[in-house]
Amino acid sequence: MHFENGFRNARYSGTRDTQCLVPPPFLKRLSLWLACASAVAILISIAIAQILMALALAALLLSGLPLRWPRIAIPLGLFLAWTLVALAFSPDPAFGLPSVRKMVVYLMLLIVYSSIRTPAEAKWLALAWMGVGTFTAGTGLVQYAADVAGARAAHQDFYHFYVADRIRGFMSHWMTFSGQELYILLLILAFVLYAPKVKRYLWVLLPCGAAVGIALILSQTRTVWVAAVVAAFYLLWGWKRWAAMAMPVVLALGILVGPTAVRERVQSFTDPHGQTDSNGFRKIVWLTGWQMIKAHPITGVGPEEIRKPSVFYAYLPKSIRRPLPDGDYQHLHSIYIHYAAECGIPAAVFLTAALLIALYDFHRALRRLPAERSLRRFLLHAATACLVGTMVSGLAEKNLGDTEVLTMFLALMCLGYVAAGSETGAATETPRDTAAITI
């Protein structure tokens, strides 16, 4: 009898010791909250977002949640690996170290995809983005009003006063601001068109969409304008095709009645040089990038090397007249050309493959969903629209080179893969503590 009691007590003691090794349940929720907070904070501050990202990673590793990567991580991992190869062959590897430090941002794929397991959790991140994105858009509108007053006080033409220093919200550049607001606008539109029980949210969604849309228009970022039109057309086409066909008419009427500065910016599309030579200098950097690709097709000129004026001018075609028009010559204003010139054609191929694989995965998952509104349909359409917008704007801008835009893009792709669920190998509907690892 004493032996049995002793055995029983020892067994219970061993169970208690084992239970001490099991992470407390709140760590799983903490990982989720910190992952979402990091993804949302990138709209305000890169420093705060990355501090939260580090905390989210720590909570995730302690939580006991299975670690998993979305399928897009494979080609993106190859892209990063080839960047390291290009760095090894760079004439100045130390100068290219910022590219290595930026690789930390790609941990967002692990953090968000491991922490957010269900479409319901993904929805709350999307709603938080919409709310904070509307606030940052409102900040941009206040900045625009201040610029209008500044131009009047200086007795200057507003277009030329404004176009060189546009609204930027909390970001350091208007391109970063407009790239993020593009994602917010597409999230709002996708939610209105595809989310269930959306009528209860319309009273707040419509004003939010209007504020973000106006801020995006007033940013006068033409590459993002084109991306927004193409991505919005995709969303409308999947909802009601007549709405997609009517969109060009609505846009034309909007341009006719819009502010003069907006009309002038639209007209600059057809100007061979543009009022700020932005058309001309893009042609120059693309031609220069092509010379770099021809000279170094495998490993490129080296990470970050394009930022050196000596490197850029070494490949500048002799047929181009000097002095060069005003513009930013620190990168090549196209993710496809830039990464091929900087790190070699394989790097550009891996990056493009990642975008196309995600596009295929989301499209395949959408085809297998019922036709009615659902959270999964909203998330998949939103992720696809943001992906399309990124690919289109990436033709004429190095949008994924901005840490702020890249962070948000990676998190958005994770939401798409959460919604894709078992279609891409991860059972998102399974309990949070038993979800399978996905590669």
Is the Cβ–Cβ distance between 318 and 286 less than 8 Å?
no
Q: What percent of the chain has pLDDT over 90?
A: 73
pLDDT band (50, 70, 90) for residue 439: very low
- Residue 44 is assigned to a structural domain of this protein: yes
The model's pTM: 0.90
Cβ atoms within 10 Å, residue 42: 27
Is the Cβ–Cβ distance between 439 and 71 less than 8 Å?
yes
Residue 263 has what pLDDT?
A: 79
Rg (CA), the chain: 24
> DSSP of 12-57, one letter per residue?
HHHHHHHHTTSPPTHHHHHHHHHHHHHHHHTTT-HHHHHHHHHHHH
- Residue 41 is assigned to a structural domain of this protein: yes
- Residue 124 is assigned to a structural domain of this protein: no
In this predicted structure, the answer to whether residue 21 has a pLDDT above a threshold of 70 is no
Lowest mean pLDDT among 19-28, 79-88, 96-105, 298-307: 19-28
Q: What is the tens place of the pLDDT at every residue in 156-175?
A: 888 778 877 889 999 988 99
Arithmetic mean of pLDDT, 232-250 = 95
pLDDT band (50, 70, 90) for residue 153: confident
- Residue 252 is assigned to a structural domain of this protein: no
Give the residue among 101, 80, 90, 68 at the shortest CA–CA distance from 351: 80
- Residue 174 is assigned to a structural domain of this protein: no
Q: What is the tens place of the pLDDT at every residue in 273-327?
A: 444 456 788 999 999 999 999 999 999 999 999 999 999 999 999 989 888 888 8
- Residue 236 is assigned to a structural domain of this protein: no
- Residue 368 is assigned to a structural domain of this protein: no
Residue 276 has what pLDDT?
A: 45
Tokens representing residue 312 in the block? 């850029």
Give the residue among 354, 375, 362, 356 at the shortest CA–CA distance from 416: 362
In this predicted structure, the answer to whether residue 429 has a pLDDT above a threshold of 50 is no
Burial class (CB in 10 A: 0-12, 13-18, 19+), 422: middle
- Residue 37 is assigned to a structural domain of this protein: yes
In this predicted structure, the answer to whether residue 434 has a pLDDT above a threshold of 80 is no
Residue 423 has what pLDDT?
A: 45
> DSSP of 254-322, one letter per residue?
HHHHS-HHHHHHHHTTSSSS-TTSHHHHHHHHHHHHHHHHHH-TTT-S-TTGGGSHHHHHHHS-TTS-S
In this predicted structure, the answer to whether residue 396 has a pLDDT above a threshold of 60 is yes
Question: Mean pLDDT score of the chain, rounded to an integer?
Answer: 88
Q: Which domain holds residue 23?
A: 2-63
Tokens representing residue 348 in the block? 């550009």
Distance CA 204, CA 432 (A): 31
Tokens representing residue 142 in the block? 């206040």
Domain count, the chain: 1
pLDDT band (50, 70, 90) for residue 271: low
Arithmetic mean of pLDDT, 192-221 = 94
Q: What is the tens place of the pLDDT at every residue in 412-427?
A: 999 999 999 844 444 4
Distance CA 430, CA 406 (A): 29
